[in-house]
Structure 1
């Protein structure tokens, strides 16, 4: 089944068969905050997800596809106040600017911000929950980035 130049696959990707390689640049930290290994973890999860869910080969440069990402926000905000004007929940949000370049089809190029968050009870500190929340947020961001670049639903 071919629709235009897109090819359907059971992994959910709609990548053209002429696309063979991808360069995933190391994620850059463009804001303060977050665990020391945040950019490394994010980069590795992106690479792993593309390798597992596409037939694209990773290439250090000059690939058919290019993915550049910068973490532009690592924010803790109060959510839903209690009757005593204290936050009942806190929200950890990670925002990432992504630049995607398709060397074979410039119409698919974009620069876009992705964000995702997880809430946690105000009785807990960020340092208590960061280790469990950050991986969940990164997993969802990776999925959202993948969907916009490889699945394009």
Structure 2
């Protein structure tokens, strides 16, 4: 077999060419692997306490939602949390906390709930100091269904049941504000 030096240089040249073609993408700085689409000049965020204005929401919901929102952004971005006046600002209120029958069944001529649904609505005002075109004020809603046999009081006072719903709302807020979805 005859040794050909050009064959040993070809893989190296391909690797170098590939790396050079990716170089322009490295400086863009807007895309991240966490799914955010934030300007690199945005360094921090603030979250005001979301007041519970729903007449029948549990007392812990306001503080729990606010802290969960902060934690989500800390986990999914490189932004620093500041007490107020962040480059990204979140504020709002819990506007509805409703527990109602979602599926009516007729049993022995009696109408009764087959499933009960807990619905939470949260009004969010988002301010982006670096790009005011991204600002919004919107109500986000999510719900969860529970068996009709489940005690309503146990659901209303269950932080885990409430968190399943609020986690979906926080994800929606994140997608709208940080990922521009």
TM above 0.5: yes
Partner SS, residue 97 of structure 1:
strand
Structure-2 change in CA distance of 1:148 and 1:6 (3 Å): farther
In 2, are the aligned partners of 1:101 and 1:109 still within 8 Å (CA)?
yes
Does 1 or 2 have the higher relative contact order (CA < 8 Å, sep 6+)? 1
TM-score by length of 2: 0.79
Question: Between Structure 1 and Structure 2, how many residues are aligned?
Answer: 151
Q: How far did 1:6 drift?
A: 7.5
Normalising to structure 1: TM-score of the pair? 0.93
- Unaligned stretches of 5+ residues in structure 1: none
1:48-59 correspondence to structure 2 within 5 Å: 48-59=71-82
Partner-residue secondary structure (3-state), 1:124: coil
The structure having more radius of gyration, on CA atoms, is 2
Q: Which runs of 5+ in 2 are unaligned?
A: 1-24
Matched, 1:146 2:174: yes
Higher strand share: 1
2-side partners of 1:27 and 1:126: how far apart?
24
**Given the alignment of the two structures, is residue 80 of structure 1 paired with residue 108 of structure 2, yes or no?**
no
After superposition, residues 9-48 of structure 1 pair within 5 angstroms as: 9-48=32-71
Select 2:84's aligned residue among 47, 61, 68.
Answer: 61
Runs of 4+ in structure 1 deviating by more than 4 angstroms, as ranges, are: none
1:98-117 equivalence runs, <5 A: 98-117=124-143
Structure 2 residue aligned with 1:134 = 162
SS state at 1:81 partner: strand
* Separation (CA, whole Å) in 2 of partners of 1:14 and 1:38: 29
